[in-house]
Structures are given as structure tokens and as C-alpha cells.
Structure 1
Amino acid sequence: MSLLVAVTWETQPWVDRFTRHLPGREIVVLGEEFDRASIRYVATWGPKPGSLDGLPNLEAVFSLGAGVDHLMGYPGLPDVPIVRVAQDDLTHRMSEYMVMHCLLYLRDHARFAAAQRTKRWEEDRSPPIAGDVRVGIMGFGVLGQDAAFKLKMMGFNVAGWSRTPKSVEGFKVYSGENEFDAFLARTDILIALVPLTPDTRGILNRSLFRKLARDGRLGGPILINAGRGGLQVESDILACLDDGTLKAATLDVFEKEPLPENSPLWEHPRVTITPHNAAVSEPEATARYIADQIRRYEAGEPFQNVVDRTRGY
């Protein structure tokens, strides 16, 4: 019973991690000789075409991260459970990122940072309180709900939107296409955490931005995207920042990564860029999580966080 590590980056650290957490198991990598019939599990990110083929006894594929869009487009994806990594470490990091940036916008940090650079004493006579600011979290799964609870603790007025109906105590949760516009209309800071699917690709565009609240205390709607770069249309973000449809944007993910040096996003005064590090999966915790999933399964328990292929997440 072997585990195949199929990644596009250096493999040995992952072999070492899985060897520690799955003692006695054979851990193999692409490019080496191994018995394909012995492979029961695959741990992967961005597998190359053909790397998951010809594994007759495969029982599960584990994504080495929270997202699975890198697998959904794989030609001939094996008909076995696809399991997402969902661990507390990643969830907490994402919530830290959201709380930090929402607070920076609440306290108008960019204005004061600019004033400091010019040695100008900039008074703030009527700052809003957190309860005046409506945060809308688009994608109300594990990550979205944890961020919502922590933002609410800071006083923000938080609501969520989910593709399917959900009931989460303490929050108004909009759902489906019929309630999407109402969700956008009450949102001052839009947080995008939806998975990347054919339905959500390019959803962060001018049409959506125009539907955000225009009467908020922050002087215009703000976008925070730490979901997937494919969700956003970057030319629309830039145009909407320039014409006032958006006041500001914090972007952790991009259409192309690393973000090219010639992208105008780098120098736009109302864009904050982070290098896809909002919620970096801690490798040791990820390996431990996958090992625990394998042990649970072999003890007769179901896998956790299995992807619904019809939805793509």
C-alpha cells in the first residue's frame, strides 16, 4: 500500500514528511520506478497530464491545499474521492488576514501612512466605528464562517453569501442567485472566498462591482480577494478603481502568478498586493492531516472534506 507524491515542486521534503507521519508505508514519487498497482493514495498539487493514469487500485486523491481547481481540469481524473485539506492552521491564518485588512480600511491606514511619508499631521475628525461597516463574505464555508465570527468579534456588521442555503447562528446568510444582488447591495467590504469553478471564473468584474453599496461610511466599496486569481478580471478592477466604482482593493491572488512586473496593479495607489500568502498551508500540518485521513479511512471511517464533483469544490 503506497502513497504517490505527484507535485511540480521539490518532492523530497514531502517524502520525508509522509515517511514520518506514515511509518512503514512506501512513499514514491513520479520519475522513479514503482509498482503502479500498489498505489492506494495520491497526494498532489497541479499534476501533469498522465501522472494520475494507470493506477488500478487507487482509493483517494488528496489535494495539498484547500483549493481543488487544479484537479478539476485534469483530463481523465480518476473516479475516486478527491479530498481537500481543511485544517485549523490554514483557517486561522485566513481569518487573521481578513481581520487585519478590514481593520486597516476601517482606520483609513493608507491615508495616515501617506501623511507620515510627507510629515503631515492628518486629523481624523469623524472616523466610523466597526459596526458602521458592512462586510460581505462571498463563500460561507469553513474559511468564510471563521472569518465572519472573528470580524463580528471586532464589531463589524457581517453577512455571508453561499451558493446553497445555510443557517449560521448570528449571521444573515444570503444564498443562490436570487439573493446575490441583495447581498452585494448591503456590502461595503466584499471578501471573496468562493472556490474557482466554471460558474465563478471572472465573477469579480465591473458588473458585480456596480452592485455594491454606494452609501457606506468608507467612501466607496472595497474588494478583498484571497480566494483564487481566476475569480477576478484585473482590467475591470483597475478601471473601477480609476472611475470610483471601487474605492480600494486588497489582492492576494492573481490571474497570473507570480504577478508580472509590468502589471499596473503594482503601482496603483489604491491597491494592496500580497504574494498569495493569506493562508499558506503549513507543510507539516498538511502531511499530518493527510496521514490522519488515511488512518481514519483504513479504520472504517469516511474521508472528511470530500469534493462534490458536480459543484467543483
Structure 2
Amino acid sequence: MINVLYATTAPAWADYETPLRRAFDAAGLQVHLSQDIAPEKVDYIVYSPKSALTDFTPYTNTKAVLNLWAGVEAIVGNTTLTQPLCRMVDHGLERGMVEWVAGHTLRHHLDIDYFLARQSGSWEPMVPPLAQDRPITILGLGELGRACAKALHQLGFPVTGWSRTEKQIDGITCLHGTEGLEQALSSAQILVLLLPLTEETTDLLDASRLAQLPKGATILNPGRGPLIVDEALIAALDSGQISRATLDVFRAEPLPAAHPFWAHPRVTVCPHIASETRASTASEVIAENIRRGEAGEDFLFRVDRARGY
């Protein structure tokens, strides 16, 4: 019997208990799943950063901590966590992100907001360019960034992707390194942020890098709030350097009511909905990683502690 501890209150136990049990059965795993198991008996921990569990020292026999979220920045630096840590990458999360990014890209590309603001009986034609004439840059070419890049390429957009290390994706111009970042920013009429949050990426989009974008560029941030310096973005929006920003993630969540993003006419605030972990598909990933652990195989999406993701 495999002992699996569900050590989080968000996502809720009621939402995940049945999908997890179903996924374990489908994988042929005999699992004791509970919210209360003696630490020394726990084989695997299902976890999210909102868990009350912060000291992993007693979990001496635990083979892996399996995160339910894609982001691990809140746990990766925990010095008591010596067990393998796996982040969540699943089909539902990926498809949700692709749909959000593609939807808001098309919204800005077609200037739908322009027409929504002019429902007053006036006839004011505004013809957008074709997708082939609207260069897009995606910062971050992990699983989610790669999927979004491919989807936008299929829609006809010329897509440039940037990552810290060298990548190759068919149809995508892939850049890396400091010089690559400058080049990636310089062509981005629409910029999509899908980088993990690390020491290197925090405040990446500051005033100097916002100035490297083409004047009037649009920013979509479904990645992490601290990738952008808020004050620099507001100044760039006020000056017209950035035309619009659609933001799904923020330094403080929920976004405080007094934050200037709420009232800014060129900012769309989304309540962190770009890609939610779905219980059905996430449970399948958890079950597969436990199957792998029991079979002595490599875990999926194991976090590199040195890189932070």
C-alpha cells in the first residue's frame, strides 16, 4: 500500500479526493490517500504553496513532493525540503494557458477594445494588419511558452521566443542570453510573459527594457506579477510607450483595491484565471509520477533547485 498525504487546503480536498482516487485506480496503484498520515509513513506528498506544511524534516521516507501548481517559487527555497520536488505541467493547464494567450492576443491584434468603446452609432472603420504583419515575442519557452508559441504561429503570427538557455522550436525564432533578450524585445508588437519567477527574472521588465519595445506595444502577463516593475509599466502606459496591458498576475493577490492598475484606462485586470489547475488532468499527472516513483523511473517535471523551476 502506497501512503499519499494530501497536504493542502487549496485546492480543496473535496475537489481532488475523487479525481485522485480515480487516477490512482486507472494507473493500477494501491493507494491510501488521506489528509492525516504519520510523517514517517508518508511515501508521497500532494502539495501546493498554500499548505500549512512547511517543515519537511519529519518526512524521512517520502520519495517526492508533488506540487499541484506550475509555480514553485514559494517552496523551492525551503531548506527542510530535501525530497525531490515536481511542479505541475498537465494538459488542462497547458490548454487553458494557450486559450487565454491566443484569445487576448487576438483581442489586441483586432483592436476589439476600440470597437467596444465606440458603440455610439458612429461609423469609424479601423482595419487591423494581418497576423503575418504583427510580430509577437514570448519570454519563456518552457512547456506553456512552447505551447503558446506554436498556437500563435499556427494563427499566422511571426513568433519570437526567448529563454535563458538555447531552445529550438520549428517555426519559431528562438533567442537566448542578454543580446537575445534585447533583440526579442525590439520586435515585439505584442509581448507575452511566461517566465518562471526567479532571482534573475524578478523585475525583468523595468523602465529600460520597456523602452526597448516598439512604441505602442501591448503586454500580456499571465506568468508572474513580479516580472514587471509596476511603477515602470504605469509610466510607460502614461507616456504611450506601451499602448495597453492585460495582466493576470500581480505582486499582491488579490490585487489591492487601491492599486492604480484598477483605474488605469489602458490596463485590463484579470483575477489570475489564465490557467487554473484542473483536478481531472492534474490527478493523472500525480498518479503517473507516483507510478514512476514506484517503478524506479525518473519523475516528470522534477524541479532543478539551482535554476529555481
Establish whether residue 68 from structure 1 lines up as the match of residue 72 from structure 2. yes
SS in 2 for 1:249: strand
Residues in 1 aligned to 2:273 and 2:68: alpha-carbon distance in whole angstroms:
15
SS in 2 for 1:298: helix
Contact 2:132 2:157 in 1 (8 A): yes
Contact 1:140 1:160 in 2 (8 A): yes
Residues in 1 aligned to 2:93 and 2:236: alpha-carbon distance in whole angstroms:
31
Establish whether residue 299 from structure 1 lines up as the match of residue 299 from structure 2. no
TM-aligned CA distance change 1:310 to 1:64, over 3 Å: same
Contact 1:60 1:83 in 2 (8 A): yes
Of 48, 52, 60 in structure 2, the residue corresponding to residue 45 of structure 1 is 48
Establish whether residue 251 from structure 1 lines up as the match of residue 255 from structure 2. no
RMSD (Å), alpha carbons: 1.6
TM-aligned CA distance change 1:208 to 1:166, over 3 Å: same
Establish whether residue 100 from structure 1 lines up as the match of residue 121 from structure 2. no
Q: CA deviation at 1:297?
A: 2.3
Letter in 1 for 2:281: A
Q: How does 1:144-163 map to 2 (within 5 A)?
A: 144-163=145-164
Of 236, 240, 256 in structure 1, the residue corresponding to residue 236 of structure 2 is 240
Match of 2:221 in 1: 225
TM-score for the superposition, normalised by structure 2: 0.92
Q: CA deviation at 1:112?
A: 0.5
Residues in 1 aligned to 2:100 and 2:54: alpha-carbon distance in whole angstroms:
37
Q: CA deviation at 1:158?
A: 0.5
Match of 2:115 in 1: 112
Contact 1:130 1:154 in 2 (8 A): yes
Tell me the alpha carbon deviations over residues 182-227 of structure 1, each in whole angstroms, 9 at most, x when there is no partner. 111111111000000111112122221111123xxxxx11110000
Tell me the alpha carbon deviations over residues 146-196 of structure 1, each in whole angstroms, 9 at most, x when there is no partner. 111111111111010010011112211010123111111111111000000
Of 45, 53, 60 in structure 2, the residue corresponding to residue 56 of structure 1 is 60
Tell me the alpha carbon deviations over residues 202-260 of structure 1, each in whole angstroms, 9 at most, x when there is no partner. 2122221111123xxxxx11110000112122222111101112111010101111111
Residues in 1 aligned to 2:77 and 2:122: alpha-carbon distance in whole angstroms:
52
Residues in 2 aligned to 1:169 and 1:131: alpha-carbon distance in whole angstroms:
17
Contact 2:214 2:241 in 1 (8 A): no
Contact 1:249 1:271 in 2 (8 A): yes
Contact 1:187 1:213 in 2 (8 A): yes
TM-score for the superposition, normalised by structure 1: 0.91
Letter in 2 for 1:311: R
Match of 2:185 in 1: 184
Letter in 1 for 2:20: F
Contact 1:45 1:70 in 2 (8 A): no
SS in 2 for 1:248: strand
Q: CA deviation at 1:119?
A: 3.1
Establish whether residue 169 from structure 1 lines up as the match of residue 193 from structure 2. no
Match of 1:22 in 2: 24
Residues in 1 aligned to 2:268 and 2:73: alpha-carbon distance in whole angstroms:
25
Structure with the bigger RCO (C-alpha within 8 Å, sep 6+) is 2
Instruction: Report which stretch shifted further, 43-52 or 296-305.
Output: 43-52
Letter in 1 for 2:19: R
Structure 2 portions without partners, runs of 5+: none
How many pairs are equivalent? 302
Residues in 2 aligned to 1:37 and 1:262: alpha-carbon distance in whole angstroms:
46
Contact 2:43 2:62 in 1 (8 A): yes
Letter in 1 for 2:113: A
Q: CA deviation at 1:51?
A: 4.3
Structure 1 portions without partners, runs of 5+: 215-219
TM-aligned CA distance change 1:8 to 1:201, over 3 Å: farther
Residues in 2 aligned to 1:264 and 1:90: alpha-carbon distance in whole angstroms:
29
Match of 1:210 in 2: 211
Identical-residue share of aligned pairs (%): 35
SS in 1 for 2:274: coil
Match of 1:217 in 2: none
SS in 2 for 1:247: strand
Contact 1:40 1:60 in 2 (8 A): yes
Residues in 2 aligned to 1:175 and 1:280: alpha-carbon distance in whole angstroms:
28
Q: CA deviation at 1:48?
A: 3.5
Letter in 2 for 1:231: L
Residues in 1 aligned to 2:111 and 2:128: alpha-carbon distance in whole angstroms:
8
